Amino acid sequence: METSEMETTSSSSSNSKEDIKEELKKKTTQTKKKEALGWMEWLRGWFYVVYEMLFQRITASHLHNPMPLPPVNDLTIIVTGSTSGIGREIARQLAEAGAHVVMAVRNTKAAQELIQKWQTEWSGLGLPLNIEVMELDLLSLDSVVRFAEAWNSRSGPLHVLINNAGIFSIGEPQKFSKDGYEEHMQVNHLGPALLSILLLPSLVRGSPSRIVNVNSVMHYVGFVDTEDMNVVSGKRKFSSLLGYTSSKLAQVMFSSVLFRRLPAEAGVSVLCVSPGIVHTNVARDLPKIVQAAYHLIPYFIFSPQEGSRSTLFAATDPQVPEYCELLKSDDWPVCAFISHDCRPTNPSEEAHSIETSHKVWEKTLELIGLPPDAVERLIEGEDVECKYGANH
C-alpha cells in the first residue's frame, strides 16, 4: 500500500487519479450495502412520528390560525393537488392574500367548482381572486411534461412551485402507474421531481423563487433502495407504509441534490416541509374503524387550515431564501426542512447520506427520462429532451 502510494506520487497526475478511483472502487465494494434502516434509526424515526402526533398542537401553539401572510400580490404560485385537504387550503389562502394561483389538478371540474365557490364567498371583500386551473395527473409522466410545456410556453415568471399532491393508499395492494412505477413513488416523488426540473426555466425567470415540497414526518422511517425503487425484487415485502415512507425520503434526498446543483445566481431555493398530522382525505382508504378513531381525536390532529401553515410559511416568508443559501454555503448535505410548527428542523439520519442521495438523484433522472445534465442545461437556457411527453 505504502509503495503503491509512493509510486503514485511520483507518476503523472492522471495516473494518481486512476489509483484514487481504483481505491475508492475497492472501498465501495468492500462496504456492505445497507439493506434497511438500523433498528436505532427506525426506533428514533417512530419516536419523531409519535412525538409530532401527540405534541404538534403544543409545539405549534405560537402560530396563529389562519397564519397572517406577507404581501404576495406580485407572486405567481402553482399548487399541485389543490382540490382537497392541505392543498385546497393553501390555494384558497394564497389567492385571498392576492397571489396569482394556478391549481394544478387531475380533477379540473372539481377545481372549477371550488373557484366559483371561493369567488362567491369573497365577493365584496376585495378584488376577484386571481386563480386558474390547469390539468396535471402525476400518475402520468406524459401529463407532467404536457403541463410543463404549456406553462413554459407562456414565457412568464413562476415564483413558487408547491408540490403538494400526494397519496397514501393505506391497505391497498401494490399498484403501478402506466409508466410502470409503483404509485406512491410516482405521485409523491417521480412526478414532482420531473415537474420541478421542467419548470426551472420559469422559476429562474421568477427568481428569487422557491420549490416547496410538502413532505412528511414519516420520511424518518423511510428507506430507499435505489436498485429496487418499485419494491418488486422480493428483498422487502411491499406495504403502503413502505411505499409512502420511501417515496417521501426519496423526495428529501432528491431535493438536497437538486438544491446543491442549482447555482446561487439561479436564485431558486428548494425545501421540504412537514404539515403535521392533518385531518384530510389522505385517510380515505383507512379501515372504517380507524377512520372513526381519526374523527375522535381532533385535539391531536390539525385541521387542513392548521396543516397548511408550514407550507405557507415556506412559500412566503422573506427569510427563507437566505436560510437556504446559508445551508448551501455550510456544506450541509441536506436541503432545508421546515417542521409543522414553522421551525427549521433536521431531516432523518438516512437523508444525510450523500452517497445514497446521489444514487437517488441519478436513478430518479433515469426513471423520469431526463439526461444527467438536465438541470445545468435548463439553467443555461438550452432545450432538454425528455423520454415522456406528446412528442415521444
Catalytic residues: 244
Q: Of 90, 115, 136, 203, which lies in the binding site for ligand NAP, with binding defined by CB under 6 A?
A: 136
Stretch that binds ligand NAP, among 36-44, 120-128, 164-172, 229-237 (CB under 6 A): 164-172
The three-class DSSP label of residue 212 is strand
- Nearest CA-CA partner of 218 in 26, 14, 37: 37
Cβ-Cβ contacts under 8 Å for 305 (sequence gap 6 or more): 65, 66, 89, 93
How many other CB atoms are found less than 10 A from the CB of residue 186?
30
Q: Of 206, 222, 243, 275, which lies in the binding site for ligand NAP, with binding defined by CB under 6 A?
A: 275
81 touching ligand NAP, by CB under 6 A = yes
165 touching ligand NAP, by CB under 6 A = yes
221 touching ligand NAP, by CB under 6 A = no
Q: Of 106, 189, 210, 219, which lies in the binding site for ligand NAP, with binding defined by CB under 6 A?
A: 106
**CA dist 72 → 97, 159, 177, 272, 310 (Å):** 6, 10, 36, 20, 16
DSSP per-residue string spanning 329-347: HTT-SS-EEE-TTS-EE--
8-state DSSP, 188: I
86 touching ligand NAP, by CB under 6 A = yes
Stretch that binds ligand NAP, among 112-120, 136-144, 145-153, 196-204 (CB under 6 A): 136-144
Stretch that binds ligand NAP, among 33-41, 55-63, 272-280, 348-356 (CB under 6 A): 272-280
Closer of 206 and 275 to ligand NAP (Cβ): 275
Dihedral angle of Cα 189, 195, 196, 200, to the nearest 10 degrees: 160
Closer of 83 and 356 to ligand NAP (Cβ): 83
Cell 403544543, residue located: 58
For residue 228, which phi and psi values (nearest 5 degrees)?
Answer: -145, 55
Q: In whole angstroms, what separates CA 37 from the centre of its chain? A: 21
166 touching ligand NAP, by CB under 6 A = yes
Are 389 and 149 spatial neighbours (Cβ–Cβ below 8 Å)? yes
Q: Of 278, 312, 338, 367, which lies in the binding site for ligand NAP, with binding defined by CB under 6 A?
A: 278
- Site residues for ligand NAP, 191-220, by CB under 6 A, read 214, 216
User: In angstroms, what is the minimal distance from the CB of 5 to ligand NAP?
Assistant: 50
Closer of 57 and 377 to ligand NAP (Cβ): 57
Stretch that binds ligand NAP, among 131-139, 201-209, 234-242, 320-328 (CB under 6 A): 131-139
User: In angstroms, what is the minimal distance from the CB of 277 to ligand NAP?
Assistant: 5
52 touching ligand NAP, by CB under 6 A = no
C-alpha 106/C-alpha 135 separation (Å) is 5
Strand ranges of the sheet holding 268-273, from the earlier edge strand across to the other edge = 131-135, 100-105, 76-80, 160-163, 209-214, 268-273, 336-338, 344-345
312 touching ligand NAP, by CB under 6 A = no
Cβ-Cβ contacts under 8 Å for 18 (sequence gap 6 or more): none
Q: Of 90, 139, 252, 257, which lies in the binding site for ligand NAP, with binding defined by CB under 6 A?
A: 139
167 touching ligand NAP, by CB under 6 A = yes
- The per-residue b/e assignment along 6-44, b for 16 or more CB within 10 angstroms, e otherwise, is eebeeeeeeeeeeeeeeeeeeeeeeeeeeeebeeebeee
User: In angstroms, what is the minimal distance from the CB of 234 to ligand NAP?
Assistant: 27
Residues binding ligand NAP: number (CB under 6 A): 28
The binding site for ligand NAP (CB under 6 A) comprises 80-81, 83-87, 105-107, 136-139, 164-168, 187, 214, 216, 275, 277-278, 280-282
